[in-house]
Amino acid sequence: MNDAVVKVDRLTKHFAGRPVVEDLSFAVRRGEILGLVGPDGAGKTTTLRILAGVLPADSGAARVADQDVIRDPEAVKSRISYMAQRFGLYEDLTVDENIRFYAELFEVAAAVREQRARELLAACGMTPFQRRLAGQLSGGMKRKLGLVCALIHTPQILLLDEPTTGVDPVSRRELWSILYSLVFQGVTVLISTAYFDEAERCHRLLLLHRGRLLFCGTPAELKGKLPGAVLSLASSEPRRLRAALAGADGVLSAMAMGDALHVVVDDPARRIPELREQLGAAGLGFGDITTMGATVEDVFAYMVSRQEAERGR
Amino acid sequence: MVEPPSILVEELVKRFGSFTAVDRVSFRIAGGEIFGLLGPNGSGKSTIIRMLCGLLTPTAGRASVVGFNVAKEPEEVRRHIGYMSQKFSLYDDLRVIENLEFFAGLYGVKGTLFKERIGWALEMAGLKGSEALLTGELAGGWKQRLALGCAVLHRPRVVFLDEPTAGVDPLSRRRFWELIHQMSADGVTVLVTTHYMDEAEYCNRLALIDAGRIVAGGSPSEIKRTAIRGDLLLVECAPLGRGLELIKRQPGVLDAAVFGAALHVVVTAAERARIELAAALASAGVEASRIEPIAPSLEDAFVALTGGHPGGSERAQ
């Protein structure tokens, strides 16, 4: 990748003798949203902290905005904005005062600051709360204020560590629409999330598990990794359906949902009539069978279970 | 419903001063049902849960849990419920077995039952052999199953789960929900509060709450089918930004937003919009590679039902 603004090569970091990031390599293009996706303990936060120049790596190389963050972690700081999970808001200052504080820290001119603050507050639906103390905001609102503060200067690269944890879907959409508008202006975004459905919003993903890279590519490429297809069988008794299908030919896995059974099959065209027949013979009723797109979580679960099966052998 | 409901909520109201946190909320949950209460931050979810646990007195209306009135018989109510929140329910500096013993004592599990129930919880949580591990050192999925084990040591008939699986790896999450579905098959009623849509999909029935009121209810698929006024289209085009600006101005377009490398567009009628949007994009020199209807997700439904009032998703209290 020639136009990479972030380039990471064989990055490794241990805590207490245990690897938390292991041999990680990737690159990010200008104007791209890269998602670091994985459950707690995957190594997302550690990776972002190394790239932000606040944590040294054990080995490996990392360049961010033309700066070598391993050798000179200070040089990168004026070109990026890093929002940690616990972003430093002053609880006894109001929303407006927090924004002014960060604007001064980043040396943003007063005229620019006013307009930018107005736009950002409006975009995340926070205009009515300007005079409220930060300490009296809900968790979701604090995250949004953190983002406003992090964006009060215009960074080349934005590093966001789980900005949507504990944030409801409406606020989450507001946050993403701000990110997309930044990307149209050429800003590059690295964002971590433990919400697998959120991964679909990123241009490209790093799927991480226990410090290791499982996959790197677009969401569409990732979904192509799941063999077969996911079917949804509408039913008020998904567990009974699953019991009846245990060991059926071509059924790779089955999961009971609230009002449906999700079944992964090798060949939907062939298996749908077979499933109908088998459930009919067992005297079990069910509604529509629909083919669903695999989710990022489906693929993650598949990859990890295959890995564990190989290790178990 | 022939059987009496496990949880009955009728015209429940809670006011804090002049602020109405819960505004005439009613629902009923049958025994063994998995019911999800969804809502944005500050919508009144946790106030309802606290009233159902007998920790807050309702201002008006009534609620009962397994037949006991939450305002008049809070002690009885608490004997029959279990509560689990992934984040707050365990002591990290205690060993696995010590957490279980602590909660067994707290819930008044005594005598021969003490050993029996702790053994059962270890088995259920897949923690046999890990009794001596420090809780703080367990991986997320293990911790969460231990928290569930602790919450159900006293065999409650109703279990409250507060965002139980956020941040947990997918295999552990699937295993957790498998346990919940098993409990529900055994007749335990489960009330889940969350704004995490992946968790909502595991519920039999959902109620969406916004600004203290229930705004929609039904099974996950019913809500997805009915929440969105109009149809949802996926549009792939280049350049994306210009496409978005153009589409926002088209008649028949109710909403348009970027979603990854594509646009999600809500239109009044899919078939007509497909033709019109294709023509509008083409004449402006924006290349559209794909315009097709897609099924709305539960998140789309949630946003359609709770978004769009002033101040964003939250009320200026």
pLDDT of residue A313: 58
Q: Is residue A305 part of a domain?
A: no
Nearest to B36 by CA among B150, B172, B191: B191
Per DSSP (E only), the strands in chain B are 7-16, 19-29, 34-38, 60-65, 68-69, 81-85, 158-162, 189-194, 205-210, 213-218, 231-238, 253-259, 262-267, 287-293
SS3 A237: coil
Arithmetic mean of pLDDT, B196-206: 91
Is the torsion defined by CA of B239, A202, A302, B148 positive or negative? negative
Residue B35 · residue B29 · CB < 8 Å: yes
Could you tell me the fold of the domain covering B7-225?
A: Rossmann fold (3.40.50)
* The CATH number of the domain covering residues in B228-306: 3.30.70
Q: H or E stretch including A300?
A: helix A296-312
pLDDT digits (tens, 9 = 90+) for A162-183: 988 878 888 888 889 889 989 9
pLDDT digits (tens, 9 = 90+) for B119-167: 999 988 889 999 999 998 888 888 888 999 999 999 999 999 988 887 7
Instruction: Name A28's bridge partners.
Output: A6
> In angstroms, rounded to a whole number, what is the distance separating the alpha carbons of residues B161 and B145?
12
Chain A residues closer than 8 Å to B170 by CB: 39, 196, 297, 300-301, 304
pLDDT of residue B313: 42
Residue B309 has pLDDT above 70, yes or no: no
CATH of the domain at A279: 3.30.70.100
Q: Which residues contact B36 (CB under 8 A, 6 or more apart)?
A: A258, B191, B192, B193, B194, B199, B200, B202, B203, B205, B206, B207
Q: Is residue A302 part of a domain?
A: no
Residues 137-166 of A with CB under 8 A from B: 138-141, 165-166
Arithmetic mean of pLDDT, A30-35: 96
Chain B contact present for A168, CB below 8 A: yes
Place of tokens 């409220």: A132
Arithmetic mean of pLDDT, B298-304: 88
Arithmetic mean of pLDDT, B179-206: 92
Q: Give the pLDDT band of residue B281 (cuts 50, 70, 90).
A: very high
Q: Give the pLDDT band of residue B88 (cuts 50, 70, 90).
A: low
Q: Are residues A219 and A241 in the same domain?
A: no
pLDDT of residue A293: 84
Chain B residues closer than 8 Å to A201 by CB: 259-260
Cis peptide before B239 (omega within 30 of 0): yes
Q: Is residue A308 part of a domain?
A: no
Domains B7-225 and B228-306 share a fold: no
CATH of the domain at A124: 3.40.50.300
CA end-to-end distance (rounded Å), chain A: 37
Q: Give the pLDDT band of residue A124 (cuts 50, 70, 90).
A: confident
Residue B11 has pLDDT above 50, yes or no: yes
Chain B contact present for A105, CB below 8 A: no
pLDDT of residue B310: 37
Residue B317 has pLDDT above 60, yes or no: no
Containing structural domain, residue A94: 4-223
Q: Is residue A105 part of a domain?
A: yes
CA atoms within 13 A on the CB side of B204: 19
CB contact under 8 A, A128 and B34: no
Q: Give the pLDDT band of residue B87 (cuts 50, 70, 90).
A: low
pLDDT above 70 coverage of chain B, percent: 95
Chain A contact present for B228, CB below 8 A: no
- Mean of per-residue pLDDT scores for chain A: 91
Nearest CA in chain B to A290: B295
Q: Are residues A144 and A41 in the same domain?
A: yes
Structure tokens at A130: 């300007």
Q: Are residues A19 and A46 in the same domain?
A: yes
pLDDT digits (tens, 9 = 90+) for A210-266: 999 999 999 999 999 998 899 999 999 999 999 999 889 999 889 999 999 999 999
pLDDT of residue B164: 87
Chain B residues closer than 8 Å to A176 by CB: 258
pLDDT of residue B316: 45
Domain assignments of chain B as residue spans, ordered by start: 7-225, 228-306
Give chain A's domain count: 2
Q: Is residue A310 part of a domain?
A: no
Q: Is residue A299 part of a domain?
A: no
Q: Are residues A171 and A249 in the same domain?
A: no
> In angstroms, rounded to a whole number, what is the distance separating the alpha carbons of residues A83 and A162?
9
Q: Which residues contact B316 (CB under 8 A, 6 or more apart)?
A: A128, A129
In this prediction the pTM is 0.89
Arithmetic mean of pLDDT, A125-131: 91
Per DSSP (E only), the strands in B113-221 are 158-162, 189-194, 205-210, 213-218
Instruction: Name B160's bridge partners.
Output: B83, B191
Nearest CA in chain A to B204: A258
Q: Is residue A198 part of a domain?
A: yes
CA atoms within 13 A on the CB side of A313: 6
B262-267 and B7-16: which strand pairing? unpaired
Residue A123 · residue A179 · CB < 8 Å: no
Residue A248 region, left (φ>0) first, then alpha (ψ -120 to 50), else beta? beta
> In angstroms, rounded to a whole number, what is the distance separating the alpha carbons of residues A88 and A76?
19
Chain B residues closer than 8 Å to A128 by CB: 310-311, 316
Q: Are residues A276 and A169 in the same domain?
A: no
Chain B contact present for A56, CB below 8 A: no
pLDDT of residue B139: 80
